[in-house]
Structure 1
Amino acid sequence: MTHEHPRTVGDLIAALSGYDPATPLRVAAQPGYPMEHMLARVVCTPDDAESWGIRPIDSPVVWLGTGEQVGYLPAIAADALGRSA
């Protein structure tokens, strides 16, 4: 099962809904030098940011932050993502 370019929280939830909730979650980064990272945080701006007294005018955006680097992206994952390992 693959999902191309989830652009909204709903798209991401739909993309993840077909997988066992206990499955480990990783982020594949750096296409030319593929590495795998843990997911660090999930935040929403402007809600989760300090406003410093300024009223936010931007639309909300949910951010998935990369965490600790786990290692090289396994070749099978690079292949499934359409990247060269």
Structure 2
Amino acid sequence: MTDTPLATVGDVIAALSGYDPTTPLRIAAQPGYPMEHPLARVVCTPDDAEGDGTPPTDPPVVWLGTGEQVGHLPAIAADVLGWSA
């Protein structure tokens, strides 16, 4: 396990490149009360968020949106993330 931040799309692609592409992907959240969520959407801002056709001036940011909560994070995942007591 490494604590290297995944700051860019390239970092995420590199971190996932060693896994089978059919492996389910989840987001682990709330270290004090660990839950799991599926990824639901990937979006990029700004993308004419105002809807007025004005070209964006801010740099793009890619966002990963979570879906509905799946349930409690399995203990083995919490352990590997370092979230266990």
* TM-score bracket, shorter-length normalisation: 0.7 to 0.9
Please tell me the residue identity of whatever aligns with 2:10. Answer: G
Give the number of the structure whose residues are more often strand, by fraction.
Answer: 1
- 1:5, distance to aligned residue in structure 2 (A): 1.3
What TM-score do you get using the length of structure 1 for normalisation?
0.87
Where does structure 2 lack aligned partners over 5 or more consecutive residues? none
Q: Which amino acid aligns with 2:43?
A: V
- Mapped to 2, the partners of 1:6 and 1:41 lie a distance apart of 18
The answer for the alignment partner of 1:23 in structure 2 is 23
Aligned to 1:36: 36
CA contact (8 A) 1:26 1:38 kept: yes
Shift, 1:55, TM fit: 3.8
1:51 aligns with 2:50: yes
- Aligned residue pairs: how many? 84
Q: How far apart are 1:3 and its partner, in Å?
A: 6.1
3-state SS of paired residue (1:62)? strand
C-alpha separation in 1, matches of 2:5 and 2:55? 31
| Aligned-residue CA RMSD (Å) | 1.7
Could you tell me how far apart the structure 2 residues matched to 1:50 and 1:57 are?
12
Question: How far apart, in 1, do the equivalents of 2:45 and 2:9 lie?
Answer: 13
